[in-house]
């Protein structure tokens, strides 16, 4: 009898969810979170009960979740595995429930067997033990919207607790991140580490390691043999001996590195591959390594791995570009100091004249505290001052950003405040020459706004792919 009621509730939860998704889509709304929320209200144990019907792959960590998910999706495609995945921005338990239900028929039979889930770090704590993923990838831990979770160690702990509930899960962890790598210590799980080889990309801009300079076990200061960015690198604690673990998936060489792509050599347990990533920046090399680790577990051959790595395109808002009025617009989302620093470093590879616009909002989705702008190393802009025709600042916090640029050494007369999106675009075009790059660096909600403006201004359909 009890079993009957469980099945009944699952059935109702599925039907309600599917109905809500249907109605919300009719209304032209996204419908990614609300239906799942309703499902969990009807049957809170839904995820646990459904977990054995699926093979789940979860991706969590503060930076690079979306891009890594995209690469993993490519690996699944290449392996001929059908799957469903959640949309960016729907990575809490409600969005995950919506996604899981979408993989079921009305009678509760799985339509596909594999579910790929980008998962918020706090949600991971509760969702992972319920879904018992076959594979969990943790990308890294950088400070991100501290007003949301309190602090970095809370975020790390959330993920650690999640892992405790899933001893069977195979973990894919960042070896170069002392916080992330610590998740693989003293756990029964099988662990695969990925990272950059020693001195593959030695840090060349001076930057103090601020996120995790001290040993997570014994609080001594780490020694670094080499570092890539932020606190990532080959760390070693001189006191307790905790050090960067050996990486099974390792980038052994960066052969080319410019503002559009990088060509890297990756060593996996089954051999070496060379791939040209169609995404710029060191952070994307890490994302590619995490994706390669999944490809390795799926037993993809060398050619398949290379095909996926060379074929993937940008995730939602991570870097999108289009041509208009003879110029190239390039938009890159900025959301926390580490990500922003990587974007600035990417701008260092800019060869010709360009225009840069920073659009900073402080709505809840952006983080209401914009203090983190002072943790970003805008000082390195001094290397490209001659190439930047004008710096524009926009968004709710345009004035804060203007002050930040001034104190980073950008001359006051090359900083322009423009709140209106349309005027901003016009001014950027006017300030630049043919074929030049116009960079737009918005926070999350600013990105939604400016994308709308661009779409209307240039009659673009979905230019983000």
Partner 1 sequence: MYEINICHLYPDLLNLYGDRGNIICLSKRCEWRGIEVNVKGISIGDDFRWEDYDIIFIGGGQDYEQTILQDDLMNGKRQGIIEAVEAGKVFLAICGGYQILGKYYRTHDGKDIECIGALNLWTHGGDTRLIGNLVFEVDFLKTKDNNGYIVGFENHGGKTYLGEGVKPLGKVIKGFGNNGGDGFEGAVYKNTFCTYSHGSLLPKNPALADHLIMLALLNKYPDFQGLEPIDDTLENLAHSTLIKRFTE
Helix (H) or strand (E) holding 255: strand 249-257
How many helices (H) and strands (E) the chain has is answered by: 15, 17
Residue 17 in contact with residue 25, Cβ under 8 Å? no
Q: How far is the CB of 169 from partner 1 (least distance, A)?
A: 26
Q: How far is the CB of 229 from partner 1 (least distance, A)?
A: 17
Q: How far is the CB of 34 from partner 1 (least distance, A)?
A: 27
Q: Which is nearer to partner 1, 304 or 400 (CB)?
A: 400
Place of tokens 């952006």: 366
> By C-alpha distance, which of 318, 300, 310, 302 is closest to 75?
300
Neighbours of 174 (CB within 10 A): 28
Q: How far is the CB of 213 from partner 1 (least distance, A)?
A: 5
Q: Which is nearer to partner 1, 209 or 437 (CB)?
A: 209
Residues that bind partner 1 (CB under 8 A): 146-147, 150-153, 208-210, 213-214, 219, 221, 368-375, 399-400, 402-404, 406-407, 412, 415, 417
Q: How far is the CB of 157 from partner 1 (least distance, A)?
A: 10
Place of tokens 């016009």: 426
Q: Which is nearer to partner 1, 15 or 403 (CB)?
A: 403
Pairing of strands 388-394, 354-359: parallel
Q: Which is nearer to partner 1, 170 or 404 (CB)?
A: 404
Q: How far is the CB of 219 from partner 1 (least distance, A)?
A: 5
Q: Which is nearer to partner 1, 24 or 146 (CB)?
A: 146
Q: How far is the CB of 151 from partner 1 (least distance, A)?
A: 4
Count Cα atoms within 13 angstroms, Cβ side, for 67.
Answer: 30
Distance CA 76, CA 89 (A): 21
Residue 271 β-bridge partners:
268
> By C-alpha distance, which of 171, 242, 243, 232 is closest to 196?
232
**Burial label, 363 (beta-carbon count in 10 A; 0-12, 13-18, 19+):** middle
Q: Which is nearer to partner 1, 156 or 355 (CB)?
A: 156
Q: How far is the CB of 438 from partner 1 (least distance, A)?
A: 23
Q: What one-character-per-residue DSSP string does 200-240 give?
A: SS---S-----S--B-TTT-PBPEEEEE-STT-EEEE-TTT
Helix (H) or strand (E) holding 158: helix 152-164
Q: Which is nearer to partner 1, 136 or 334 (CB)?
A: 334
Q: Which is nearer to partner 1, 48 or 157 (CB)?
A: 157
> By C-alpha distance, which of 197, 191, 236 is closest to 213?
236
Distance CA 221, CA 213 (A): 6
């Amino acid at each position: 009898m009890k079993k009957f009621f469980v099945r009944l509730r699952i059935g109702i939860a599925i039907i309600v969810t599917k109905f809500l998704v249907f109605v919300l889509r009719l209304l032209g709304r996204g419908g990614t979170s609300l239906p799942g929320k309703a499902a969990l209200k009807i049957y809170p144990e839904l995820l646990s009960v459904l977990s054995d019907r699926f093979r789940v792959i979860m991706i969590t960590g503060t930076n690079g979740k979306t891009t890594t998910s995209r690469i993993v999706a490519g690996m699944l495609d290449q392996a001929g595995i059908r799957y469903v995945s959640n949309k960016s921005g729907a990575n809490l338990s409600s969005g995950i429930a919506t996604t899981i239900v979408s993989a079921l028929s009305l009678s509760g039979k799985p339509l596909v067997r594999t579910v790929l889930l980008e998962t918020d770090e706090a949600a991971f704590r509760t969702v992972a033990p319920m879904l018992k993923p076959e594979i969990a990838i943790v990308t890294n831990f950088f400070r991100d919207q501290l007003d949301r979770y309190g602090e970095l160690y809370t975020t790390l702990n959330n993920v650690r607790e999640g892992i405790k509930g899933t001893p069977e899960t195979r973990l894919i962890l960042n070896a170069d991140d002392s916080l992330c790598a610590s998740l693989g210590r003293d756990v029964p799980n099988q662990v695969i580490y990925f990272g950059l080889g020693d001195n593959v990309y030695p840090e060349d801009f001076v930057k103090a390691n601020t996120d995790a300079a001290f040993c997570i076990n014994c609080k001594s200061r780490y020694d670094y043999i080499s570092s890539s960015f932020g606190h990532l690198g080959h760390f070693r604690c001189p006191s307790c001996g905790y050090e960067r673990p050996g990486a099974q998936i390792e980038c052994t060489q960066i052969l080319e590195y410019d503002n559009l792509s990088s060509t890297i050599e990756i060593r996996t347990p089954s051999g070496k591959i060379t791939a040209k990533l169609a995404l710029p920046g060191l952070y994307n090399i890490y994302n590619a390594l995490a994706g390669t680790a999944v490809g390795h577990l799926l037993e993809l051959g060398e050619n398949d791995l290379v095909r996926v790595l060379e074929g993937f395109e940008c995730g939602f808002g991570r870097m999108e570009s289009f041509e208009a009025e003879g110029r190239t617009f390039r938009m890159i989302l900025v959301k926390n100091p580490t990500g922003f620093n990587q974007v600035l470093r990417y701008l260092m590879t800019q060869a010709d004249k360009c225009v840069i616009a920073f659009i900073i909002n402080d709505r809840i989705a952006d983080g209401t505290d914009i203090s983190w702008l002072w943790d970003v190393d805008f000082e390195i802009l001094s290397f490209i001052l001659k190439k930047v025709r004008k710096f524009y600042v926009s968004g709710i916090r345009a004035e804060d950003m203007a002050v930040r640029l001034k104190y980073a050494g950008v001359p006051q007369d090359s900083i322009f405040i423009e709140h209106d999106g349309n005027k901003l675009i016009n001014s950027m075009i006017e300030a630049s020459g043919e074929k030049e790059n116009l960079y737009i660096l918005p926070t999350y909600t600013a990105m939604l706004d400016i994308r709308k403006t661009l779409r209307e201004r240039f009659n673009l359909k979905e230019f983000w792919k």
